[in-house]
Structure 1
Amino acid sequence: MGFPATRLRRLRRSAGLRELVRETDLAPGHLVLPLFVHLEETASPVDGMPGVERLPISGAVARSKRARELGVPAVLLFGIPPTKDDLGSQAWDDEGVVQLAVQALKAEVPELVVLTDVCLCQYTSHGHCGVLAADGSVDNDATLELLARTAVSHARAGADAVAPSDMMDGRVAAIRAALDEEGFGERAIVSYAAKFASAFYGPFRAAADSAPAFGDRRGYQLDPANLRQALREVELDVAEGADVVMVKPALPYLDVIARVRDAVRVPVAAYNVSGEYAMLKYAAAAGALDERAAVLEALLAMRRAGADLIVTYFADEVAGWLT
């Protein structure tokens, strides 16, 4: 029935009614806080990401404690090693920055869920996500063993879940097999299953010192034009043993999040990436929008699209607003 029998404004006329019929919620428990960790003794600011720092391990522990007290259940660690080489060997060093940070976090905040990024780009001297072949391209199959070795090292340190972000074919299966063989069959894999070759990663690459020394990553990350290919990537990762699949970035890819949510039964994560964070921070600083309202609306949109959890640099700030 149409107007005047149907008046949709009836359910919008008061805050109580609006809350009663609200279809989507956003809570601290949906959020994951990414942290950049290094072995320096002091924090250093990240260019292009106001309020974000590279943290010493003690600083990562302190911030994680505050986030957990606000209701944020998990962090995602990115390590910045003191040295790099062609293979990225610091990635699987049991005394590496991520491994030491995981141990400290599990000792100081045992209830915190600790996820670790599994990739080689922060650790390689050339900045690519895998081993280079003689022609300068990334050797997919040679990279798998090193990614699996890294994931096992993170699990040995105490990580609750590993999150491969490299976009090599077959890496979920390789990591799952290695974890199972080493007695870590209960550790989860949060796969960056639909990771696009995006223009929104710039501030992250500055933070992690992971920009490619030559070329780009379009040879292994998804073309932003391809939705069907993204769905194939997701389905393959689930078949290989991924426990959670991630879409990255989030805001420009809400349609992908929605389609992935419809396609699979596993939880879906969205990564609210560094460029998305930066554009809202700078727009708010310029007075172009209300930061709190815009951030909450953006994260709610990701939840509405189908994201079960959201990785966001706003996590602890938003948790404070919500609580």
Structure 2
Amino acid sequence: MVPPGHLATALPAAGAGPAEIDTVTLCDLTSDPEWRRHVLLDRELIVLTTGGHGLAEVDFRALPCRPGTLLRVRAGQVLRCAVPRLTATVVRWHPEALHGLDVDDDVPTWVQLAGEDEDAVINEVSQLTVDSRRHQGTPAARSLLRHQLSVLLLRLGMLPSGAGRVARPEEDTFHRLRREVERGYQHTRRVEDYADRLGCSVRTLTRACLAVSGRSAKQVVDERVALQASRLLAATDEPIARIGRQLGFSEPTNFGRFFTREVGVSPGAFRAAREQPAPAPMVRPRPPVDARSDAHRR
């Protein structure tokens, strides 16, 4: 076991291709050492800050980081970090790596660890780092790493957060809508379509969204589309018109008007600003921090 409070150096397995579960450093996530561009992630990440002070942008939200800060970044999100001001160990895995294991991945985007919780998480990450380096490619390695990752996620899910409270009916409806939007935002922005899929009325969805987020159901749907557009504009070189088509806009002008209304600048201006050192323009209105992350901030 790695002594508590000490973090093993994250190194990929020598000579190995992309692993199902492994640990790397922040610099391994991008080919640009200055992190001038956002990175669109195709794997799940836990980022544990081990040194320095600075900001990490997750989906254009600037999050303060110092030793002990943990970020949960999901596949499909965009990430940009203040390197070399920050150093971190990154646990990454393919979305299907935990298939079949009873793990409720309810980890907030931002957590500031402290005390025994910090020591325990550091030890879990360190041991996973050591084992992914030493045992990658051996017959039992996949099972070992899957269970170690499960333990890490379970431990993070048990951090004090008030998560045990009973959700209000409006919260349940809101989160059901969010899940349905995640599956369907590329195909429809009509709230009526989501109401049909969820077996409720548009009024019910709007009432739930207003109660939980302060925004209407239509705003929730449109913000998700604008977020995806922002990700693709910031992290890829895809033509703007093609991005619009991917998101269901048949005409570039319609996409341009939609994006400008939601974000406050045109798609072209947003893309032109993506390599500026300051955070890129925020998707407007700013998505709320999830309740569990708020609890850790206080």
Q: Same fold (TM over 0.5)?
A: no
TM normalised by structure 1 equals 0.29
